[in-house]
Amino acid sequence: MKLAGKSAIVTGGGRDIGAAIAKKLAAEGASVAINYFASSAGADATVADIIAAGGKAFALQGDLNKPEDVDALVAKTVSEFGRVDVLVNNSGGLIARKTFAEMSLDHWNDVMSLNLTSTFLMIKAVGPHMNEGTIVNLASQAARDGGGPGSVAYAASKGAIMTMTRGLAKELGPKVRVNALCPGMIDTDFHNIHTPDAGRRGFEAAAPLKRQGLSEDVGNLVLFLACDDSAFITGTNVDINGGMVFS
Residue 58 resides in a domain: yes
* Average pLDDT for 158-162: 98
CB 86 within 8 A of CB 9: yes
State the Cα–Cα distance between residues 41 and 64, nearest whole angstrom.
19
* Average pLDDT for 124-135: 97
Question: What CATH number is associated with residue 103?
Answer: 3.40.50.720
Residue 48 resides in a domain: yes
Q: Does residue 197 have a pLDDT over 70?
A: yes
Nearest to 140 by CA among 60, 86, 195, 103: 195
Burial 194-225 (b: 16+ CB within 10 A, else e): bbeeeeeeebeeebeeeebbebebbbebbbbb
Say if residue 184 is exposed, middle or buried (CB neighbours under 10 Å; 0-12, 13-18, 19+): buried
Q: What is the mean pLDDT of the chain?
A: 95
Residue 247 resides in a domain: no
Sheet holding 7-10, edge to edge: 57-61, 31-36, 7-10, 86-89, 133-138, 176-183, 237-240
Residue 39 resides in a domain: yes
Catalytic, 36? Answer: no
* Average pLDDT for 141-158: 96
CB 202 within 8 A of CB 244: no
Whole-prediction pTM value?
A: 0.95
**Catalytic residue (one of 36, 37, 81, 154):** 154
Supply the range of the domain harboring residue 182. 7-240
Residue 1 resides in a domain: no
State the Cα–Cα distance between residues 207 and 242, nearest whole angstrom.
6
* Average pLDDT for 181-201: 77
* Average pLDDT for 163-187: 97
- Answer whether the bond into residue 183 is a cis peptide, omega within 30°: no
At 191, the pLDDT band (50, 70, 90 cuts) reads: low
- Number of domains making up the chain: 1
- Which residues contact residue 244 at a Cβ distance below 8 angstroms, ignoring those fewer than 6 apart? 141, 184, 185, 203, 206, 207, 208
At 188, the pLDDT band (50, 70, 90 cuts) reads: confident
Burial 60-96 (b: 16+ CB within 10 A, else e): bbbebeeeebbebbbeebbeebeebbbbbbbbbbbee
Nearest to 123 by CA among 170, 157, 172: 172
